């Protein structure tokens, strides 16, 4: 289950071209399938990549470089990469925050609820076992409920 809404223009890493299919997987706990969304390719870098060839050719036409100008785009690439990494760090902070806070709170709530239900279930099971044993004694030994209760109080 995805946690954040994805913008249509953004692409996740490593999933381009793959055909994704939503599959329902049954779990014992209600929110076990929660997970943060995939990391998204920073938009600025993606746009730069798309338009790179045109920009480079335009530069070459206008700047008239020679063989010693191989690093003519390195500065831009380096800055864009730094910015993309910073954006990725922001995404990482969001993910960690959501795991530690939102998802974790949901799971903690589920855990508390499940634990309480388990205790209630265990108590009812013990009570049922006792009641069942008492009724079986009444049924098979021909005694009455009051006899059994007196016997239990005596014991």
Partner 1 sequence: MKQINVNGVHALRTEGYLLPIQAELTLQDTERAWWAHPAFILFLTVALSVLDAMVLYDIMDSAMTQSAWLGKLVAFGIALVLNVIPLMIAKLTHQAIYNLKRFAGVWALTGVLAFLLLFTGTVWLRFAYRDAYEAGSGVTQLETTVETGAAFSAAAEENEEDAHAKGTAVVVLLSVEPLVTSVANFLLAYFSEDELRARINRLRLRRLELLEAKSDLQAALANMDGDRQQLLQLDEARYRAAREVITARCEYLRAEARRLLAEYLADPAATTKLSAEAVETDPVSPPARLHALSESA
Identify the H or E element spanning 122. helix 104-141
Shortest reach from residue 47's CB to partner 1, in Å? 13
Burial label for 42, CB within 10 Å (0-12, 13-18, 19+), is buried
The residue from 85, 90, 102, 152 that contacts partner 1 (CB under 8 A) is 85
How far apart CA 6 and CA 86 sit, in angstroms, is 19
Q: Which of 47, 90, 102, 124 binds partner 1 (CB under 8 A)?
A: 124
Q: Which of residues 94-123 bind partner 1 (CB under 8 A)?
A: 95-96, 99-100, 103-104, 107, 110-111, 114-115, 117-118, 121-122
CB of 5 to partner 1, least distance (A): 18
- For the CB of residue 35, give the shortest distance to partner 1 in the complex, in Å: 6
The SS3 call for residue 40 is strand
Residues 44-83 binding partner 1 (CB under 8 A) are 45, 48-49, 52-53, 56-57, 60, 65-67, 69-74, 77-78, 80-82
Burial of 38 (0-12, 13-18, 19+ CB in 10 A): middle
């Amino acid at each position: 289950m995805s946690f954040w809404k994805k913008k249509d223009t953004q692409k996740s890493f490593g999933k381009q071209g793959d055909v994704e299919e939503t599959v329902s997987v049954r779990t014992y706990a209600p929110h076990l399938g929660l997970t943060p969304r995939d990391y998204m390719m920073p938009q600025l870098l993606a746009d730069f990549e798309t338009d790179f060839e045109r920009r480079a050719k335009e530069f070459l036409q206008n700047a008239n470089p020679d063989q010693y100008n191989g690093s003519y785009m390195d500065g831009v690439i380096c800055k864009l990469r730094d910015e993309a990494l910073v954006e990725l760090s922001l995404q990482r902070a969001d993910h960690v925050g959501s795991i530690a806070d939102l998802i974790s709170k949901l799971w903690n709530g589920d855990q508390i609820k499940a634990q309480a239900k388990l205790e209630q279930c265990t108590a009812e099971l013990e009570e049922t076992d006792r009641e069942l044993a008492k009724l079986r004694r009444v049924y098979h030994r021909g005694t009455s409920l009051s006899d059994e209760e007196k016997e239990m109080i005596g014991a």
